[in-house]
Structure 1
Amino acid sequence: MGESEKLVSNLFQMARDNAPSIIFIDEIDSLCGHRGEGNETEASRRIKTELLVQMQGVGNDDQKVLVLAATNTPYALDPAVRRRFDKRIYIPLPDLKARQHIFKVHLGDTPHNLTESDFEQLARKTEGFSGSDISVCVKDVLFEPVRKAWDAEFFIKTSNDMWIPCGPNQRGAVKTTIEELDAKGLASKILPPPITRADFDKVLARQKPTVSKADLEVHERFTKEFGEEG
């Protein structure tokens, strides 16, 4: 309260003192909306003014200070703020190859039996998904092996004394439940099955992308007017 513009000034001074440096402002639209709007407070107006002054760099050497910002609503930015940024780059939704790689990154070293063809098919099925949407999808899929182990009625004991859920007709299957194994002190020996393509199909059947065509049209229109492709 009353110190916000001073903190902005201090931030830029710290960046200059530690140059080369980068100042990154996420969701900058929440800080630098159009000036003069009805819901604008005196404090927010002063913050915008100070930010504009600092970005202009009058009387300072800002050659080694980069101001980087991100927003999903570029039209909400005040025109003066927009002009302070030399480049206004539109980062589109990930393409096929990018989505395929994002699935691999988020799955990491989690045991699975997916092939390159499976990852490609998942990428094709997620047209219009953002990186965040794919992240949510994978997080949900990671719970599928746990759900299978919890609902399983048959387990098979491996050579290293681990218990894996299986079907009733599998050789060596033992009729038991996860609760019964836990009661015998074997909870740490239960090994969830690897993730399969079917697990992804199950999750994707109920998940929808969060970015609409209308959202994309706004970004593309802004890019044509003020920006450039990233």
Structure 2
Amino acid sequence: MAREHRPSIIFIDEVDSLCGARSDNESEASRRVKTEFLVQMQGVGSDNDNVLVLGATNIPWQLDSAIRRRFERRIYIPLPEEAARAIMFKLHLGETKTELTENNIKELGKMTDGYSGADIGIVVRDALMEPVRKVQKATHFKRVRGASHDDPNVIHDDMLVPCSPVDPAAIEMSWLDVPGDKLLEPPVTMTMMRKAKASTRPTVNQGDLKKFQEFTADFGMEG
């Protein structure tokens, strides 16, 4: 199909699961898949003009050596730098209602050295649960002005948000007593983000990074 619709790109994520090192213990089906992959990538008569094959893996050293050679460029993508991490926080937060400023976003990028894009996604998802937890744990709510769930341009005066029991406008009730269309979820704050970050550790350690660097030194090529 890629050849029929060229120019085209074939992207294989987790390519190691398809093209791991061959062994005597693997099944005949697995061996045939790898052989066919080799033939299609660079076999006699293969016509791959204007067809780009990309593969991604976190364990490149487990690729079969013959298949590794078929990928002409082997490029190491390092962990995101500070500026990139800040942008990732923005992307993951999306349109979520927050109290975060540009300086807060920059601070988050600075304080997550060693975090991957997936790690940052976990931090944000955990932080997004904080308003839910706050609502579930609340014993008192108060009425405030807020936008309607159905139409953001319509403002109501009787929306309900969690509050302290000592707040002068506090009404004793649980979240189960709050009508769904009247609940105004608290915005995500920097305190929530710091709490989520403190409970999330980076998944890439120094040992992993060293293996990537060694593989790049042995087999890598500049992009």
Alignment-derived partner of residue 42 in structure 1: 28
Cα drift, residue 133 of structure 1: 0.7
The 4+ residue runs of structure 1 with deviation greater than 4 A are none
Structure 1 pair 45–126 and aligned structure 2 pair: CA distance change class (3 A): same
Runs of 5+ unmatched residues, structure 1 = 1-13
Distance (whole Å) between structure 2 residues aligned to residue 80 and residue 59 of structure 1: 18
How many residue pairs get aligned? The number is: 212
Distance (whole Å) between structure 1 residues aligned to residue 81 and residue 221 of structure 2: 18
Match of 2:200 among 186, 195, 207: 207
CA deviations on 1:112-156 (whole Å, 9 max, x unpaired) are 001111112211221111100111111111111011111112212
RMSD: 1.5
Alignment-derived partner of residue 69 in structure 2: 83
TM-score normalised by L of structure 2: 0.90
Alignment-derived partner of residue 9 in structure 1: none
CA deviations on 1:67-112 (whole Å, 9 max, x unpaired) are 1101111111111111111110111111100110100100011000
Match of 2:138 among 152, 162, 166: 152
- Please identify, of 84-93 and 52-61, the stretch whose mean Cα deviation from structure 2 is larger: 52-61
Secondary structure of residue in 2 paired with 1:155: strand
Cα drift, residue 38 of structure 1: 3.6
- Please identify, of 155-164 and 142-151, the stretch whose mean Cα deviation from structure 2 is larger: 155-164
Distance (whole Å) between structure 2 residues aligned to residue 172 and residue 228 of structure 1: 65
Bigger fraction of residues in helix: 1
Equivalent position amino acid for 2:21 in 1: H
Cα drift, residue 179 of structure 1: 2.2
Distance (whole Å) between structure 1 residues aligned to residue 13 and residue 116 of structure 2: 17
TM-score normalised by L of structure 1: 0.87
Structure 1 pair 224–169 and aligned structure 2 pair: CA distance change class (3 A): same
Runs of 5+ unmatched residues, structure 2 = 146-155
Secondary structure of residue in 1 paired with 2:2: helix
